[in-house]
A and B are shown apart, each in its own frame.
Chain A
């Protein structure tokens, strides 16, 4: 296993603030530098596929995955990942085989997953106490194992975005048109669902169930307001996501702020969105 200490030291040198001298802050920064681009890249496609609700369903499945792990005595992080992956692929499989719209299918899974989690928790009240950390997440307690796992996912996602970005964009514009142009739409839809499920679950560790969707959607939505082309949308989403993550981490560590890191990151991204909406509005006005 490679030693991550030089990476943490680099993080401290790049951002020479007092708050960044603590090891847990350096670890949090490394995790966010890996996580934020992943959310931005996937968020661009989530918005194109109109699948914002999908990430909500997956993030809430984390709650059930953890409950299941605690109940059967397995590693809760493993059951959480496995359960999310199963739910993500099942949503995609059902939506491809039914005439129901995808948001209806996601809604059914969302409800079923929550109900299942509550049923598990109601059988054993002690389980509920362990679930709270997943509802709010805590980037400041992230460990080396999580960082390594996020790094592996980052590499896989970069490969996917390099090989499949154009095809995925095509499917997002119109699946029938993409299929007619020999894009294997089914393969890309399943791969996307699987990778998105993994990104959502890893994000739950950092920002919690409640804020995962915001990590995916807000940078992509801001990028839509600012970009003039598909590649512009990709790069703007990255800029918004990474700057929000770093700024949010630093601000939350200030004594005058004292806010939760995940929430502060999402607030920074929301400021970006407000600014981008103004720019987008001005541009539309100039066109008229």
Chain B
């Protein structure tokens, strides 16, 4: 069995004296699409932020090294909180990270071309000239996905990617993630409370409600008992069959995704 991409060992987080996570022990298999699920207030986003190093925590989070060095993380936040009045285009956002030249001195041709390639890979090329504040929820999620893969991440972290996105947008995002994962070979860690997205898209799951209630391959783990323990209600009626077009093989790849 290969080394997990991420290993959480006895991770606990308390904010302002309130315990958010208690001794979380879990692992994210290398190359998997792992979903962290749980009800509101379960500590899903907290675990993600601890993993990203943006929150202090007790315990240990081991992120596997790659042959090239420490693993690179890409991050797609939940419905980006930003000032919608800012006159900033999608292209501006794509180049401010990698471009050294200040934006007021112009955007370099090389960075513009790279940005267009990335936007193309998430079907967002037509959005390049649009203002950030004018994007819909689904469009913004795709732009943030393009931004996250800009650093060619080994691990892609997504916080509630379907939040504020309609059904069509969610299906498109699901397709894009599967295709990108097949092409780029990253491990995907996704926080969500959307069980239909999990059953359609995730190969593995970590059920969280302050503590780990269950973990492992999606279909084997999402039993009525585990769901009841995680969400506190009986969810045995959940349809665990993947949505048409989002099935995965035993390696977690969609049959039609590009190899």
Residues of A within 8 A of B (CB): 48, 50, 99, 161-163, 165-167, 169-170, 172-174, 176-177, 179-183, 223-224, 227-235
Contacts and interface: CB of A to CB of B under 8 A. Distances in A.
Interface in B100-135: 100, 102-107, 131-132
Given A165-B104, A231-B103, A235-B104, A180 B75 contact: yes
Given A165-B102, A169-B103, A231-B104, A177 B88 contact: no
Chain A interface mostly helix, strand, loop or mixed? helix
Contact of B75 (A163, A169, A177, A228): A177
Interface residues of B, number: 39
B37 interface: no
Interface of B: 15-16, 49, 52, 54, 73-75, 77, 80-83, 85-89, 91-93, 95-97, 99-100, 102-107, 131-132, 144, 147, 150-151, 157
Given A181-B147, A229-B89, A233-B86, 17 more contacts: A48-B83, A163-B102, A166-B100, A167-B96, A176-B49, A180-B52, A180-B73, A180-B75, A180-B157, A228-B89, A229-B91, A230-B87, A230-B88, A230-B92, A231-B107, A232-B87, A235-B104
B54 to A, nearest CB: 6
B96 A176 contact: no
A234 B92 CA distance: 13
A175 to B, nearest CB: 9
A99 B16 CA distance: 9
Contacts of B104: 161, 165, 230-231, 234-235
Contacts of B54: 176, 179-180
Given A174-B81, A176-B54, A48 B86 contact: yes
B78 to A, nearest CB: 10
A173 B102 contact: no
A231 B93 contact: no
B80 to A, nearest CB: 6
B75 A162 contact: no
B93 A173 contact: yes
Contacts of B73: 180
B17 to A, nearest CB: 12
A185 to B, nearest CB: 10
A232 B104 CA distance: 7
A234 B86 CA distance: 12
17 contacts: A48-B86, A161-B102, A163-B102, A169-B92, A170-B97, A172-B83, A173-B83, A174-B82, A177-B80, A179-B54, A180-B52, A180-B73, A180-B157, A182-B151, A224-B87, A230-B96, A234-B104
